Structures are given as C-alpha cells and as structure tokens.
Amino acid sequence: MKRENYSTAEILDGIKNGDNKVLHFIYDEYFKSIFKMVQLKGGSGELAQDIFQEALVLVYKKLRAGELSSIESSFFTYFYSVARITMYYHFQNLPKYILHHSNTILESDAIDNSMWEDKKYVLDGIKEALFHKYLRQLSRNCFNIIKWLLAGVKAKDVMIKLGFASELVVRKKKLECLDELVKLIKKDPNSKHVL
C-alpha cells in the first residue's frame, strides 16, 4: 500500500481534528527519530513513547487553543523541537537548560518564533508537567476528586461516587486536596522557575 504524504498544513489540520490517518502517518514517519534522540540521552523505548505522546498532545492543545495555525519550518522540525524540549524536562534539565538556551534551540532547529512568546509555552509546559507529576502522588480520593471536578463532574456526583455526606464535604475536601497539591509542587526545585 502506498504511503500518503501530507503537507505541514494538512498535518496540523489532521492533528487538530484527530484524523487517524494523519496521526498514524506522524507516528510512522517521526517516532524513530524521537526514539533515537531519547536513546542517545540514555532513555528507554517507553520514555520515547511518553515523550512522543506528550509532544503530540502539546501540539494538539496549541492548535485547539488557536495558538498555532501555521509554522514556517517543516512539521518534522517543529515536532522534533517540541519533543526535544519535552525530553529535557524528563531528564530534569528543562528549567535551567531550556530557559537559558531556548534561543539556541530556536536557531538550531529553525522553528517558528511565534511558538516562544515570552517563553510562555515552555513555562506552561513546566507548570502542567508539575501539576500532573504531583497529582499522581495524592491519595486516591484526592486524585479522583480533582480529576473528576476538572473534567466537569458535578460535586453531587462526586459525593455519590465517594460516599461523602454532602456536596459541602466534597468542596471542603477539594480545597484540602488542592492545598496538598500546591504544597507538593512548591517543594519541587523546578517550581521556583514557574511560580
């Protein structure tokens, strides 16, 4: 079967709309390069999968938020750069390395400068990564309360699922869980770069 080729605009549109053909194309064409990059830094195949997925999700979120509509470089160059930044975070080098050397990465990879508006993109990525890292360390109830409420589940439904006495208890527990999450994040040495 003949492999389809897509333009950068078609790839961006396919990601934004969840087109399985385009997503499979991206995986087939680009995963090996991301795997090699991660492997050269001593990472595993599993880490390469995680980085690939996280980079794709970051691109998807920028597209859906309207923060990315086109890029001047090839999609591969852009995507590889996003994956590279994601990898640096995983190796705990992102806050110091990427914030001080983001211009070098921009120049060497020739990616669209609009991606780096005041380093907001990188900082948002760090914040989100810290949030998810420490969310997983909360108790099961706290994890579920925050996850469900962020997903739009009503407090009444959370109350029923967890067997709480009232919606007020759910709201109180949510505040306690968020306080615990913030404390965990603030203890992380990487948080001083984004908080």
The owner of tokens 């991301």 is 34
pTM, full prediction? 0.48
Looking at mean pLDDT, say which of 29-38, 117-126, 127-136 comes out highest. Answer: 29-38
Determine the Cα–Cα distance for residues 171 and 126; give it in Å rounded to an integer: 27
22 touches 6 (CB < 8 A): yes
Spatial CB neighbours of 41, under 8 Å, sequence gap ≥ 6: 87, 91
CA distance to 129, 132, 160, 173, per residue, from 178 (Å): 16, 12, 20, 9
Q: State the average pLDDT over residues 58-75.
A: 83
What is the rounded CA–CA span in Å between residue 56 and residue 150? 21
Q: What would the 3-class secondary structure string for the chain be? A: CCCCCCCHHHHHHHHHHCCHHHHHHHHHHHHHHHHHHHHHCCCCHHHHHHHHHHHHHHHHHHHHCCCCCCCCCCHHHHHHHHHHHHHHHHCCCHHHHHHHHHHHHHHHHCCCHHHHHHHHHHHHHHHHHHHHHHHCCCCHHHHHHHHHHHCCCCHHHHHHHHCCCCHHHHHHHHHHHHHHHHHHHHHCHHHHHCC
Q: Say what the pLDDT of residue 18 is.
A: 86
Q: Are 131 and 185 in contact (CB under 8 A)?
A: yes
Listed range (30-34, 87-91, 151-155) with the worst mean pLDDT: 87-91
Residue 194: pLDDT band with limits 50, 70, 90? low
Average pLDDT over residues 38-64: 85
Q: Residue 97: pLDDT above 50?
A: no
